[in-house]
Amino acid sequence: MTDSAIIHLGMRSMMVAFELAAPILLTALLIGFAVSLFQSATQIQEVTLAFVPKAIGVGVALLLAGSWMMHSMITFTQQLFAALPDLLS
């Protein structure tokens, strides 16, 4: 296994992790921003007001993007297992 193969495998792993985390993190970011704008405009400082919409939004994002995320992870894993003999030799 060469150094470039290890770096390529690490970069691909990080890209897949980024792609899988992006829908959830962006949803939480956008909802958190909207709730903070609402809280600052109305001066309501309730902790659950920030948490509950994020939890619901992340759940919806998982429902909508979950099948794509699973397909992406399965594809990456299959490609990794297919390349394993070449990586070990």
In this prediction the pTM is 0.81
CA-angle at 56, arms to 47 and 58, nearest 5°: 105
Distances in Å between the alpha carbon of 76 and those of 12, 27, 29, 56, 59?
Answer: 9, 24, 27, 28, 24
The pLDDT averaged over each successive group of 10 residues in the chain (89 residues) is 88 96 96 92 84 94 96 96 87
At 77, list the tokens: 């894993």
Model pLDDT, residue 9: 92
| Amino acid in the structure at residue 23 | P
> How many domains does the chain divide into?
1
At 80, list the tokens: 């990794």
Model pLDDT, residue 70: 97
- Domain range enclosing 60: 3-88
